[in-house]
Amino acid sequence: MSNKQGYDISQDIVAPNSIRESPLLDTACIKLDIRVSLVSLFTKLALNPNDLMLDECFLLPNQVRIPQLQFVASRTMFALPLLPYISLPVICETFKFRLQIPIYCGYRYKYTGSEMAEESTSDYKKASSVYDFTVKDGQGNDISLEKYRGKVLLIVNIASQCGLTKGNYAELTELSKKYEDKEFKILSFPCNQFGSQMPEKDGEEMVCHLRSAKAEVGDVFARVNVNGDEADPLYKYLKHKQGGSLGSFIKWNFTKFLVDKAGQPVGRFAPTTNPLDIVKDIDKLL
């Protein structure tokens, strides 16, 4: 499954023995409570099942995987035009064949009532620009965004183990080199909120990861949350100024915000938007 922007699900799922239809499916799913299974799996993966998960959980019958000798859980984003869908494998037993069959279930994010209430009373709305915010670098030092006054900024939440990582790292690196002598800077914020796909710790571990990936993604800051009560104030401000489809919440890794030389957020780009596709927008601001 892919959307018109070209996101290929195979970036996240490599299952040469996958089959689209199987007589095992109906047998394995008899009396299956999908939500309970997902919550159980979330707990096992050390994820926090909460009200970000819709009651609308569903089976994905075209993603049934034949049992492998070594089964590895795969967390996948279905980058549909409007809503991000996540699939997670649930092990279902079928006694008829005495097999354990991993069947993919899906859920999607929603903008939570608690997040809306929290953000409605925050001071971030009083900010006049991104220069009013202070963030942490990888060593825990306070960095005022005032230092970037007069520069065009591309602010992005990065992850190391996402299907979008390789392409975004490569194109963000290309952007960094292209505008090396211009008033332009990429600000990268590691985020582990989406499928725990940014496990690297701040500091040397993060530096080593980026060096190994040959990723030059601008100035890299400490890990942040981008959604929920603990979201970084900068991200609350960015979402307030540049809302997204069906709610302003960040939908996935590599959501991009473009900020002009006056510190005003002027553009927001989906995770599936390639960094190089933003070049024309950047050039207009330089």
pLDDT in tens, 46-65: 444 443 433 333 344 333 33
More confident site: 275 or 51: 275
The two counts, helices (H) then strands (E), for the chain are 7, 12
Q: Does domain 137-284 have CATH number 2.60.120.10?
A: no
CB 134 within 8 A of CB 142: yes
What mean pLDDT comes out for the span 117-129?
A: 69
Beta strands in the chain (DSSP E): 18-19, 58-65, 76-79, 84-94, 99-108, 134-136, 142-144, 152-158, 184-190, 219-220, 256-259, 265-269
Identify the residue with better confidence: 101 or 20: 101
- CA separation for the pair 217, 162 (Å, rounded): 16
Predicted TM-score (pTM) above 0.95? no
Which residues are designated catalytic? 162
- Stronger pLDDT, 149 or 201, i.e. the higher one: 149
Q: 40 falls in which pLDDT band (50, 70, 90)?
A: low
CA atoms of 158 and 192, how far apart (whole Å): 9
Q: What is the rounded CA–CA span in Å between residue 102 and residue 63?
A: 9
**Quick one: pLDDT at residue 123?**
81
pLDDT at residue 250 in the model: 86
Query: What pLDDT is stored for residue 147 in this prediction?
Result: 96
| DSSP assignment of 137-154 | BTTS-EEEGGGGTTSEEE
Work out the percent of the chain whose per-residue pLDDT is above 90. Answer: 38
Is residue 5 predicted with pLDDT exceeding 80? no
Query: What is the per-residue pLDDT across 242-270, written as a single tens digit (0 to 9) for each?
Result: 987 656 788 889 999 999 999 999 999 98
Q: How confident is the model at residue 212 (pLDDT cuts 50, 70, 90)?
A: confident
What pLDDT does 245 receive?
Answer: 60
Look at the block and give the residue holding tokens 């975004």.
168
Which of 122-126, 137-141, 252-256 is predicted with the least confidence, judged by mean pLDDT?
122-126
- State both tokens at 286: 């330089």
Q: At what angle do helices 113-120 and 233-241 cross, to 10 degrees?
A: 90
What sign has the CA pseudo-torsion 59, 62, 63, 66? positive
φ/ψ of 246, rounded to 5, equals 55, 45
Top-confidence residue, 2 or 266? 266
- Dihedral sign computed on CA atoms, order 143, 222, 123, 261: positive
Quote the pLDDT of residue 247. Answer: 64
